[in-house]
């Protein structure tokens, strides 16, 4: 009868050199990833777009970015990133808003005609489309702003000057010690 390749070892018994060589290396615990990224870190597209769609800061995930429904704060209350990063920055917001509105209108018209065929009532369908063409952009505008900020941050990460500007703002605000 041959000896088993490896015998179970009791917890208190020391390992022999042969057992130590064949034993797997102990696993070291992985360091925990911080909850929020630093301002200059690269953030994945899924995270950026998810934060933008939820009307949160794309850089740190902080909320409360709007004074009123259509009025956005200049800087993030969490990381102090400036949202309007260059002149005409929010022109992309209009593109996002128009795109969302067009998708909703196309879906509405397609469903309305599919449900009411063969005698589709053109008047009520057009009235519904007109109402959607006014309501959808107003409802989606805040999310379009943060979504565009997320897309822009993904395409063009913060430059060192922007990071320094945010750090100075946080220092003057008195909360520089919270974020590194």
Q: What is the pLDDT of residues 48-106, one digit of tens each?
A: 999 999 999 999 999 999 999 889 999 999 999 999 888 888 899 999 999 999 999 99
| DSSP reduced 3-state for 26 | coil
For residue 5, pLDDT over 90 is answered with no
pLDDT at 126: 95
Helices (DSSP H) in 16-159: which residue ranges? 17-22, 45-53, 91-116, 122-155
For residue 143, pLDDT over 80 is answered with yes
> What is the rounded average pLDDT of the residues 107-126?
93
More confident residue, 48 or 41: 48
Return the structure tokens found at 28. 């070291």
> What is the rounded average pLDDT of the residues 124-132?
96
Q: Which long-range contacts (CB under 8 A, 24 or more apart) does 131-134 make?
A: 132/101, 132/104, 132/105, 132/108, 133/101, 133/105
Query: What single-letter DSSP state applies at residue 157?
Result: P
For residue 9, pLDDT over 90 is answered with no
| DSSP reduced 3-state for 75 | strand
Mean pLDDT, the chain, integer: 83
- Contact between 109 and 89 under an 8 Å Cβ cutoff? The reply is no
Does the model's pTM come out above 0.75? Answer: no
For residue 178, pLDDT over 60 is answered with no
| Residues contacting 170, CB < 8 A, separation 6+ | 79, 80, 176, 178, 179
CA dihedral angle for residue 163, residue 169, residue 174, residue 180, rounded to 10 degrees: 0
pLDDT at 36: 47
Return the structure tokens found at 102. 């067009």
Beta bridge partners, 75, equal: 82
d(CA 64, CA 44) in angstroms, rounded, equals 22
d(CA 92, CA 89) in angstroms, rounded, equals 7
Return the structure tokens found at 51. 């934060």
């Amino acid at each position: 009868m041959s000896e088993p390749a490896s015998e179970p070892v009791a917890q208190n018994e020391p390992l022999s050199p042969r057992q130590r060589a064949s034993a797997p290396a102990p696993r070291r615990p992985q360091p925990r990833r911080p909850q929020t990224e630093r301002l200059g870190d690269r953030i994945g597209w899924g995270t950026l777009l998810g934060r933008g769609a939820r009307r949160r800061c794309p850089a740190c995930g902080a909320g409360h970015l709007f004074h009123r429904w259509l009025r956005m704060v200049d800087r993030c209350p969490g990381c102090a990133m400036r949202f309007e990063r260059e002149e005409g920055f929010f022109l992309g917001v209009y593109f996002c808003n128009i795109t969302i509105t067009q998708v909703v209108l196309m879906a509405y018209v397609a469903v309305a005609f599919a449900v009411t065929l063969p005698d589709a009532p053109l008047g009520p369908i057009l009235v519904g489309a007109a109402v959607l063409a006014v309501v959808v952009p107003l409802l989606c505008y805040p999310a379009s702003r943060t979504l565009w900020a997320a897309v822009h941050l993904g395409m063009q990460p913060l430059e060192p000057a922007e990071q320094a500007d945010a750090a100075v703002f946080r220092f003057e605000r008195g909360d520089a010690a919270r974020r590194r």
